Amino acid sequence: MNDGIAAEVTELVGDQADHWDRTGLIPVELLRKMSADGRLCAMVAQEHGGLGLSSAANGEFTAHVGSLCSSLRSVMTSQGMAAWAIQRLGDAEQRARLLAPLVNGELAAVGFSEAEAGSDVSAMSTVIRPDGDDVVIDGSKVWITAAHYADHLVIFGRWGEGGAAVVVPADAPGVTVERIPDPLGCRAAGHANIRLESVRVPAGQMLGGVSMPLSLLVTVVLAYGRMSVGWGCVGILRGCLSEAGAHARSRSQFGKPLGEHQLVGRHLAELLVSEQIATRACEHASRRWDDGEPDVVTATVLAKHVSAVQAAKGAASAVQVLASAGADNSHPVARAYRDAKLMEIIEGSNELCQVLLAEHVLSHS
């Protein structure tokens, strides 16, 4: 990771993560600055104005942001996923035209999920259809991270028997974005529901893939999201480790520091184990990604699943070590506890990851 970039983001976030969590908003100028500096989707190639980071370097940077503020990390994940969709599904002209705004101050979100299509994306009912030189989109999306801030929405839907993804300006006629007012965690990540009513955009906004099965299109794009969430969970664990370690050193009960009570020490040891397990799984997946290995898909699902489970467990341990100090909702470990739980739901819930990993076992043994 580039230490200079990390230090600048530390300074940008300062001590504001709790305030953002309470108000449910990150200042949009800060997000636009991070976009303009190429940091929200740092793997975009230099030829398109991006930083061109490897998956491993982007991962360490994502973990750093995740240790500071999971809401900001969530916005990064969405922007990175939108950029990845354009990169993987778009043609050369679209890559040049559509990636540039994402590293120049504009913001994006990605919509797969619908009220009746959560884990089962094949149940999507949003329809994208051709109409002359345009495409027309009808449908709705739920729980779309960063949609409240976004200038561009990458919307997935049915295209005849297959699937398609289309880049829609968030202010296009027929688009309605309604913020979710009170999420459990990542409260400033700009989650919103989206309605698309006869939304018309030029056909050039459609990211190829016309004959691809919808589930394959989604899988390609989710790979980035899973890697990013996995690394974000590493960040949650690092933040918890540092808070729990500092508290166990500085607070005494029964005449000695908490950390010297062996049962408290066990929580610290388990937290370290969680952080190391998650880090190693993410490092492995990012290496497979950077080396272009075909098993990257499974490695990424595994890394996301392991990291999410460890983050939820580790954040709970950190709250236990801090006890009443961590029971104050403004404490970083309280925020981590709420944020980490959501990591077990998004980008493939624990159960869906287990289904995918079981399928891998069955097809490889």
Ligand X SMILES: Cc1cc2nc3c(=O)[nH]c(=O)nc-3n(C[C@H](O)[C@H](O)[C@H](O)COP(=O)(O)OP(=O)(O)OC[C@H]3O[C@@H](n4cnc5c(N)ncnc54)[C@H](O)[C@@H]3O)c2cc1C
Instruction: DSSP for 127-164, please give it.
Output: EEEEETTEEEEEEEEEEETTTTT-SEEEEEEEETTEEE
Residue showing the smallest CB distance to ligand X in the complex: 118
Least spacing, CB of residue 109 vs ligand X, in Å: 6
Question: How far are the Cα atoms of 88, 141, 271, 337, 342 from residue 259, in angstroms, in the given order?
Answer: 48, 47, 13, 21, 29
The reply to whether 193 sits near ligand X by the rule CB under 6 A is no
The reply to whether 145 sits near ligand X by the rule CB under 6 A is yes
Residue number, 288 or 305, with CB nearest to ligand X: 305
Least spacing, CB of residue 106 vs ligand X, in Å: 17
Among 46, 119, 198, 253, binds ligand X (CB under 6 A): 119
The reply to whether 342 sits near ligand X by the rule CB under 6 A is yes
Q: Which of 346, 321, 347, 335 shows the shortest CA–CA distance to 67?
A: 335
Q: Which of 248, 267, 268 shows the shortest CA–CA distance to 258?
A: 248
Residue number, 56 or 355, with CB nearest to ligand X: 355
Q: Who contacts 140 (Cβ-Cβ below 8 Å, separation ≥6)?
A: 114, 115, 126, 193, 194, 195, 196
Q: Which of 210, 95, 81, 220 shows the shortest CA–CA distance to 157?
A: 210
Among 13, 355, 356, 357, binds ligand X (CB under 6 A): 355
Residue number, 191 or 247, with CB nearest to ligand X: 191
The reply to whether 140 sits near ligand X by the rule CB under 6 A is no
Q: Which range touches ligand X (CB under 6 A), out of 18-26, 57-65, 289-297, 343-351?
A: 343-351
CB 292 within 8 A of CB 337: no
Residue number, 186 or 217, with CB nearest to ligand X: 186
The reply to whether 139 sits near ligand X by the rule CB under 6 A is no
Instruction: DSSP for 252-266, please give it.
Output: EETTEEGGGSHHHHH
Which stretch of DSSP H or E encloses residue 77? helix 70-89
CB 79 within 8 A of CB 108: yes
Distance, CA of 97 to CA of 342 (rounded, Å):
34
Which stretch of DSSP H or E encloses residue 334? helix 332-343
Least spacing, CB of residue 177 vs ligand X, in Å: 12
Size of the site for ligand X (CB under 6 A): 20
Least spacing, CB of residue 294 vs ligand X, in Å: 25
Contact flags string 64-103 toward ligand X, x per CB under 6 A:
--------------x-------------------------
Contact flags string 266-295 toward ligand X, x per CB under 6 A:
------------------------------
* Token pair in block for residue 33: 């600055």
Residues of this chain that bind ligand X (CB under 6 A): 78, 110-113, 118-119, 143-145, 183, 186, 191, 342, 345-346, 349, 351-352, 355
